[in-house]
Amino acid sequence: MDRSKQKQINQNENETDAVINGHFDGRVKIPGWSAGGAAGNPSTVPSSSVMESWREERTRSLEDNEMSLPSIAAAYTTILKGLGEDPQRQGLLKTPWRAATAMQFFTKGYQEKIIDVLNDAIFDEDHDEMVIVKDIDMFSMCEHHLVPIFGRVHIGYLPNKRVLGLSKLARIVEIYSRRLQVQERLTKQIAVAITEALQPAGVGVVIEATHMCMVMRGVQKMNSKTVTSTMLGVFREDPKTRDEFLTLIRS
């Protein structure tokens, strides 16, 4: 990859930016990550409050989808008119409904909860080597322009007596990416979710993505990619661990 096109964002996990965690911002604390506590102290994390934050996170139900479909479709009809199109011409007759249904699908992450994914998927295991899942496909929607962001997610963590079923990492990516997003927040949400679920020694998440709002408008750079990363725990504090992760996801 062309290094000059990369944009590295190493977020500070201690910042209190209200948008960081989207649906559970402000309620989630990550004791142990602050002030150099590498492995943290899992016992200081009341699991009930963690569960609580995940339980509250779903903002849309299937019934909501059914109820809102007509109004979303009507809004698309307005958009078609506003664009100078004739919503009554044959090719567009069903477009508002199709577009509304598609938009609900593109944002179906709002219907899902992380806690449902994690149920029965966290295992006690004495494995203490880095776990890496790379090249997870990701499709999201830019919250500024409502056009796609797509790319790949690489996740690594250093277990601390608990591991997560490997396919569940991809499911976490799916839940957070199928929402209106900015890439920086998506990166951080994935890292925080894994941290809360496993209280590992460290987590690293790197996302390489193409933003259609950059490719199709504005600067129109066909091949530009945006790279974001969040490093927590030993991935942040220990350059050797971080380098091992970055080397492995590029190999």
According to DSSP, the residues that pair with 228 across neighbouring strands are 207
Work out how close the CB of 215 gets to Zn ion at its nearest, in angstroms, rounded to a whole number. Answer: 10
| 180 counts as binding Zn ion under rule CB under 5 A | no
**Rounded Cα gap, residues 28 and 55, in angstroms:** 13
Marked catalytic residue, from 52, 213, 237, 244: 213
Secondary structure of residue 7 in the 3-state scheme: coil
Pick between residue 57 and residue 184 the one whose CB is nearest to Zn ion: 184
Tell me if 213 contacts Zn ion by CB under 5 A. Answer: yes
Answer yes or no: 244 catalytic.
no
Please name the amino acid found at residue 97.
Answer: W
Residues 57, 104, 112, 142: which is the catalytic one?
A: 142
143 is catalytic: yes
Instruction: From 88-96, 135-143, 188-196, 228-236, give the range in contact with Zn ion by CB under 5 A.
Output: 135-143
* C-beta neighbour count of 210 within 10 angstroms: 17
Taking the C-alpha atoms of 241, 192, 52 and 120 in order, what is their torsion angle to the nearest 10 degrees? -60
Please give the Cα distance from 130 to 139 (Å, whole number): 26
CA–CA gap between residue 65 and residue 146 (Å, rounded): 18
Q: Which of 56, 66, 125, 144 is catalytic?
A: 144
Rounded Cα gap, residues 18 and 183, in angstroms: 16
Residue of minimal Cβ distance to Zn ion: 213
- The answer to whether residue 209 forms part of the interface with Zn ion (CB under 5 A) is no
208 is known as an active-site residue: no
Binding status of residue 7 toward Zn ion by CB under 5 A: no
Where does this chain bind Zn ion (CB under 5 A)? 142, 144-145, 213
Active site residues: 142-145, 183, 211, 213
